[in-house]
Structure formats: structure tokens, C-alpha cells
Amino acid sequence: MSGQDPTANRLEIPAEPYPFVFDPKHTALLIIDMQRDFLEPGGFGEALGNDVSQLRAAIEPIRRLLAAWRAAGLLAIHTREGHRPDLSDLPPAKKIRGKSAIGIGDPGPMGRILIRGEPGHDIVPELYPWPGEPVVDKPGKGAFFATDLHAILSNAGMNRLIVAGVTTEVCVNTTVREANDRGYDCFVPADCVGSYFPEFQEMGLKMIKAQGGIFGWVGQSADAIAALERA
Ligand code: C5J
């Protein structure tokens, strides 16, 4: 698409396995599941025994990237993992997986866990969507499964994604793979994604950029911001 557009703007971000080239007009910033239940002390993530500071480290880099993205007037999209209050879109297998004492739909520290409309399901205040920024509610790990994300992106002429959010090995990786299969090139800023497990953070990023960028590119948010500022 960018090759046919006389106004195309080809920006370059240093990345692995090689520089990521993108036209900001055709690139969306996709922020995955930066929800209070995953990130805040006292939420579902912590109740399961996870160290939320591992995820919270991504908030400030995402905030800076989002600010630069918004300042340039570009498309930012947010996702939230969660389910209908009557649980009709929650597969029984997902409900019982893990056999933990509290699960999806149960009362939790911030309302019913991962239920749309509950405080814990909402996005952390630091990254709260602006009016007009699409928020995609997804019942699965991948942001394309059972959502209108692909329609929103293609109707807006997007062919590249910058993917941030949590967790690196679960919803970020699943979404990048889904996007790759649908023809999107994805850049993942390593400092803007987080995992409760350092080894999964490392391997989750390695799997994206392996074999010549089998699923996408990995780099740093400061380089993405610098590319935007140069433009
Ligand atoms: C998980 C997610 N890990 N957003 N969700 O269950 O990665």
C-alpha cells in the first residue's frame, strides 16, 4: 500500500532481525490488555501469586510511546481481555483451567474477575484510552479472535502494527502471530511488553524475531519515538 501512495512516508526503526520500515499513516499502535486486574497490586494477577512489578515496568515506556503517537495524530487501539457478565462467551475449558481458588467471573479484589464493566477489567489510568480511540474487547488471548479488530484496521488502511502490552508470551505473542497470518508486519518494542516471568519475556521476544523475523521485529520504544520525531 505505501509503495503506491505518493505521500508515503517511510520511517525506519533499528530492530532485530533488521530495521523495521513503516509509514505512520498506515501503522496502528496496538496496546494489549493493560488492565488493572493484570497490573495493579491487589488484582487478579497478584492474587494468583504473580509479581505485578514485572508488568508494571512496561507502563511508563508505553505511556511515552502513546504520547508521541497521539501527538503525531496517529491511530492507537486498546484491547481488554474479558467476558460478558453472564459468562456466555467463556468457554468452560477456560473457566476451569488452572484449578485455582478464584477464576474468571468470581468476585475478586476489583469486582468480578475479567468481566466487562468491572473495575479490574478496565485499563490502568496511566494509559487510559482517549475518546475516539477504539477499545476492542476480546474473549480470547489473541486480539483478532472473535473481535472486529481486523475490520477496524483494514477499514483504516493499516498494514503495520506496533504491538505493546501484556503478557509477552500470552496475549502479545498470540496477537502478533494472528496479525502476521493476516498480512500485518508487527514491530514489538521490548520495553513496552511485560511478563510475570523473566524467562518468558526473553523467549517470547526471541520467538517473534527468530528465523529472519518469522512473526515480526523487536526493538526499543525510544527508537520508535525518535523515528517519529525525525519525521
Ligand atoms: C493472560 C494476557 N496472560 N493478556 N492474558 O491470561 O496475556
Assigned domain for 127 exists: yes
170: pLDDT strictly greater than 80: yes
Asked if residue 4 belongs to a domain, the reply is no
The span from the CA of 23 to the CA of 222, in Å, is 17
Out of 23, 25, 37, 171, the active site residue is 171
Q: Which of 73, 81, 194 is nearest to 135 (CA)?
A: 81
Whether 33 is in the pocket of ligand 1, judged by its Cβ within 6 Å, is yes
Identity of residue 24: P
pLDDT band with cut points at 50, 70 and 90 for residue 5:
low
- Report the domain count for the chain: 1
Among the options 23, 33, 122, 137, which is catalytic?
A: 33
Q: Which of 171, 176, 193 to mutate to test the pocket of ligand 1 (most atoms within 8 A of CB)?
A: 171
Amino acid identity, residue 50? N
Active site residue 171: yes
In the numeric block, the cell 524475531 is attached to 209
Does a structural domain hold residue 1?
no
Residues 158-183 have a mean pLDDT of: 98
CA distance 119 to 226: 35
Annotated active-site residue 185? The verdict is no
What is the tens place of the pLDDT at every residue in 8-40? 789 999 999 999 999 999 999 999 999 999 999
Beta bridge partners of 80: 137
Q: Which residues of 148-166 are buried (b: 16+ CB within 10 A; e: fewer)?
A: ebbeebeeeebbbbbbbbb
**Active-site position among 25, 138, 141, 209:** 138
Mean pLDDT of 187-198: 98
Query: What's the confidence (pLDDT) of residue 4?
Result: 57
Ligand 1 lined by 178 (C-beta under 6 Å): no
Q: List the domain range (segments joined by +) for residue 217.
A: 18-230
The answer to whether residue 69 sits within a structural domain is: yes
Per residue in 41-76, pLDDT tens?
988 899 889 999 999 999 999 999 999 999 999 999
The pLDDT value given to residue 33? 98
Beta bridge partners of 12: 21
193-227: b (≥16 Cβ within 10 Å) or e: bbbbeeebbebbbebbbeeebebbbbbbbebbbeb
Indicate if the pLDDT at residue 2 is higher than 50: no
Residue recorded with cell 488484582 = 43
Does 29 fall in a domain? yes
Within a domain: 63: yes
Average pLDDT over residues 197-219: 98
Catalytic (active site) residue 33: yes
* Structure confidence at residue 106 (pLDDT): 95
Q: What is the pLDDT of residue 212?
A: 98
Specify the residue with its C-alpha closest to ligand 1, atom 5. Answer: 171
CATH number of the domain at 63, please. 3.40.50.850
The answer to whether residue 3 is domain-embedded is no
Residue 226 lies in a domain: yes
pLDDT value for 208: 98
Instruction: Look at residue 3 in the predicted model and tell me its pLDDT.
Output: 47
How high does pLDDT run on average in the chain? Answer: 95
pLDDT tens figures, 77-126: 999 999 999 999 999 999 999 888 889 999 998 999 999 999 999 999 99
Gap from CA of 76 to ligand 1 centroid (Å) = 20
Give residue 1's pLDDT band: very low, low, confident or very high (50, 70, 90). very low
Separation between Cα atoms, residue 38 and residue 32, nearest integer Å = 11
